[in-house]
Amino acid sequence: MQERSGPMNRQDILYWLRERRPEHLEELWQRADNVRAREVGEAVHLRGLVEISNTCRRRCAYCGLGAHRSELQRYRLASEDILASASRAGKLGYGTVVLQAGEDPQLDTDELARTVETIRSRHGLAVTLSLGELGGAALRRLRDAGADRYLLRFETSDERLYAALHPDQPSLDRRLDTLRLSGELGYEVGSGVMVGLPGQSVETLADDLELFDRLELDMIGLGPYLPHPDSPLARGKVDVPATDDQAHSDEITACVMVALTRLIRPKANIPATTALATLCPQTGRELGLRCGANVIMPNLTPRAQRALYEIYPQKACLAEDEQTFHDELCRRIHALGRSVGRGRGDSPAFLARTQAKRQEVS
């Protein structure tokens, strides 16, 4: 029998991860939505996503930007293009821009640091970075320039699966070290996983959730795995661990992961991801927002480059005009009885974590 309230234990987590009946899942959506309302409120925070480079030296087996894609046209935005996107974010009323890229060795840290400083001073926006496994010096330099948050999904907590998916840097520990260092440098820290990767078991998803808690994450992103036809993983070229407990890459499993994440990290910021919106174009955003999510990241990458940031095919938001998409999004948020967030929308988990630390030292 399920507990109606209180913390989740491993058995509860596995129970929900294996539940597929919509009428039974209503209870989980409701519980997650109640915790969401109580802990982070009704506001849905919008983050302007700017994909600043699709150049990548890595060969992550699932990703459409990997170095194996020799035919993909590569781009790197100039500072003035990044600043123009940030200015559009400001005009649309967003409090944050997210600068995301492949692991691009030619992204100049000093130049990017100056861009971050300008975004902070000119537009007063919070800046989130998602640039892969950056070294300590670059993380520090960008933090000193005013970057507020760092996003780096650990993708799976199964070390063997992680190694199979990341042949050129197979150490999960190294990724976790980058997350820890980001926290020590004062970044608000985000991570997450893909749901339904080949070789990923339901037990592994339960491990992922437990790791979210152990890492004390402030932001957690979860989306279904969407095969990219030109990737080694989709082509069956990757030797993933065998499992008779394969997790599904469908909407139910992705939403169960969002809901359980909300129950396990009640104060975290959790996006309704573009991957979920891609899987369910009509309803994906709403589904996420109804089962625990409180953030959406509209795409503000210049249109000329947007289609080239092809981590998976048919990504949502490829064609939309930004203003039209924004108006439609606000309408959909209001239709759910929610409001559009104002200001930076810092993670309450981060505020609680840093306050606790301050009390420890004083």
- Residue 265's SS3 state is coil
**Does residue 226 interact with ligand SAH by CB under 6 A?**
yes
Of 275, 279, 287, 289, which lies in the binding site for ligand SAH, with binding defined by CB under 6 A?
Answer: 275
Residue 205 in tokens: 């998803």
**Does residue 228 interact with ligand SAH by CB under 6 A?**
yes
Name the minimum Å distance from CB 343 to ligand SAH: 25
With contacts defined by CB under 6 A, name the span among 30-38, 121-129, 218-226, 321-329 that binds ligand SAH. 218-226
- Helix, strand, coil share (%) of the chain residues, nearest 5: 45, 15, 45
* Contact of 45 with 345, CB cutoff 8 Å: yes
CA dihedral sign, ordered 89, 95, 97, 98:
negative
Question: Which residues inside 114-133 make contact with ligand SAH, applying CB under 6 A?
Answer: 130, 132
With contacts defined by CB under 6 A, name the span among 12-20, 23-31, 147-155, 166-174 that binds ligand SAH. 147-155
Residue 362 in tokens: 């004083």
Map tokens 């989980």 to a residue: 28
Of 178, 225, 296, 298, which lies in the binding site for ligand SAH, with binding defined by CB under 6 A?
Answer: 225
Question: Which residues inside 82-101 make contact with ligand SAH, applying CB under 6 A?
Answer: 100
Helices (H) and strands (E) in the chain, counts: 14, 8
Of 28, 44, 103, 315, which lies in the binding site for ligand SAH, with binding defined by CB under 6 A?
Answer: 103
**Does residue 51 interact with ligand SAH by CB under 6 A?**
no
Residue 189 in tokens: 């820290």
Question: Nearest CA to 257 among 128, 248, 4?
Answer: 248
Residue 116 in tokens: 């971050």
Of 81, 155, 218, 310, which lies in the binding site for ligand SAH, with binding defined by CB under 6 A?
Answer: 155
Name the minimum Å distance from CB 357 to ligand SAH: 26
Name the minimum Å distance from CB 12 to ligand SAH: 26
CA dihedral sign, ordered 140, 144, 145, 148:
positive
**Does residue 102 interact with ligand SAH by CB under 6 A?**
yes
Amino acid identity for residue 4 in this structure: R
In the complex, the residues that contact ligand SAH under the rule CB under 6 A are 62-63, 100, 102-103, 130, 132, 152-153, 155, 194, 223, 225-226, 228, 275, 311-312
